[in-house]
């Protein structure tokens, strides 16, 4: 069994991007500039945005944090997004989710210009991904593809089972794994909460990508020997014996499933760190595309 180490791989990618930024600086070119929009003060969102800003500093990007009050109206937020779309100094920006209840998330994400949508959520970018055109891939699926590629996991002709059909992970993963070329060329089955007898699919899977959000859902008796397991789930589970009072758990019963796996991602330290690295990769691409134009 080999661990797909997202922490190490994400650091490698950040170093590669930092080297690219150094070249840009040496040539007198503008360095990439990423902005993050944070509405309110949700604890988890503050942590995520803080780590994104720190990562930008670490690799030499410019970064801007746009902090807005929880009470902001939808129209005020849309006006702010219109300003960011027009700001020539910015290469890309993200709106940290979740947003307060009174704001329609879909309306906000649709308002981001596709050329600055480094999260890869806009329908224009999603469509380009499906058509195998150059675009910003959603950061978490992009990170998973990088892990498979950098660890030379064989994907061609393999049966990949994706558990979960969210627009952020499950659905894009099913498209990416079936695209032509490496890593891809897989035969993909997309399963979800309405799939009957999921274990019939998982037992025959060469690769399982689970993004369900149910702790320890995937058990050893649901997989075959030699399976590749990508665990996107991340849930806080109360644990009185732990100093923090909780543990971070994935969708996979890691201790047991890892014994049957050829490759597996840990939680934490697997897919999570890759997501931020790929957001930075998308921002670099945004800068390169803007420079070409």
The answer to whether the beta carbons of residues 128 and 175 sit under 8 Å apart is: no
DSSP state of 242: S
Q: Which H helix or E strand runs over 114?
A: none
Can you tell me the mean pLDDT for 129-134?
95
pLDDT of 222 over the 90 cut: yes
Can you tell me the mean pLDDT for 158-174?
97
DSSP state of 99: P
Q: Could you give the CA distance from residue 138 to residue 16 in angstroms, rounded to a whole number?
A: 20
Q: Note the pLDDT of residue 44.
A: 83
Can you tell me the mean pLDDT for 175-204?
97
pLDDT of 211 over the 90 cut: yes
Q: What is the mean pLDDT of the chain?
A: 96
Q: Could you give the CA distance from residue 76 to residue 79 in angstroms, rounded to a whole number?
A: 5
Q: Could you give the CA distance from residue 127 to residue 175 in angstroms, rounded to a whole number?
A: 10
Can you tell me the mean pLDDT for 209-238?
96
pLDDT of 263 over the 90 cut: yes
Can you tell me the mean pLDDT for 233-256?
93
The verdict on whether residue 165 carries a ligand-binding annotation is yes
The answer to whether the beta carbons of residues 212 and 251 sit under 8 Å apart is: yes
Residue-wise pLDDT for 266-288, tens only, equals: 999 999 999 999 999 999 999 99
Crossing angle between the packed helical segments 139-150 and 170-178, to the nearest 10 degrees: 40
The verdict on whether residue 166 carries a ligand-binding annotation is yes
Number of H helices, E strands in the chain: 10, 11
Q: Note the pLDDT of residue 42.
A: 87
Distances in whole angstroms, Cα of residue 34 to Cα of each of 15, 54, 79, 149, 276:
17, 12, 19, 26, 12
The residues that are catalytic are 52, 96, 119
**In the chain, which ranges are continuous DSSP H helix?**
6-26, 43-59, 74-86, 105-111, 123-130, 139-150, 170-178, 198-202, 254-257, 271-292
pLDDT of 149 over the 90 cut: yes
Distances in whole angstroms, Cα of residue 125 to Cα of each of 13, 105, 137, 218, 225:
22, 17, 7, 31, 37
Instruction: Please say whether the dihedral angle defined by the alpha carbons of residues 224, 229, 233 and 236, taken in this order, is positive or negative.
Output: positive
Closest to 177 (Cα-Cα) out of 204, 216, 137, 212: 137
Q: Note the pLDDT of residue 103.
A: 97
């Amino acid at each position: 069994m080999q661990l797909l180490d997202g922490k190490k791989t994400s650091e490698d990618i950040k170093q590669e991007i930092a080297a690219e930024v150094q070249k840009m600086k040496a040539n007198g070119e503008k360095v990439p500039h990423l902005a993050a929009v944070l509405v309110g003060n949700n604890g988890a969102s503050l942590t995520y945005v803080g780590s994104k800003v720190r990562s930008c500093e670490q690799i030499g990007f410019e970064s801007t944090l746009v902090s807005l009050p929880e009470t902001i109206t939808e129209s005020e937020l849309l006006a702010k997004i219109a300003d960011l779309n027009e700001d020539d100094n910015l290469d890309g920006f993200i709106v940290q989710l979740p947003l307060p209840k009174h704001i329609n998330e879909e309306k906000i994400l649709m308002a981001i210009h596709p050329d600055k949508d480094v999260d890869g959520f806009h329908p224009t970018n999603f469509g380009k991904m499906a058509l195998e055109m150059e675009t910003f891939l959603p950061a978490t699926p992009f990170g998973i593809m990088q892990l498979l590629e950098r660890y030379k996991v064989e994907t061609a002709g393999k049966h990949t089972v994706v558990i979960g059909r969210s627009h952020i992970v499950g659905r894009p993963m099913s498209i990416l794994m079936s695209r032509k070329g490496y890593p891809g060329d897989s035969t993909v089955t997309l399963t979800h909460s309405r799939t009957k007898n999921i274990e019939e699919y998982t037992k025959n899977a060469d690769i399982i990508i689970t993004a369900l959000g149910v702790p320890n859902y995937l058990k050893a008796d649901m997989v075959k020997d030699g399976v590749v397991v990508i665990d996107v789930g991340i849930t806080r589970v109360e644990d009185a014996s732990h100093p923090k009072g909780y543990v971070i758990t994935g969708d996979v019963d890691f201790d047991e499933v890892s014994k049957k796996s050829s490759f597996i991602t840990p939680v934490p330290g697997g897919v999570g760190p890759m997501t931020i690295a790929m957001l930075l990769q998308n921002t670099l691409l945004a800068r390169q595309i803007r420079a070409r134009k």
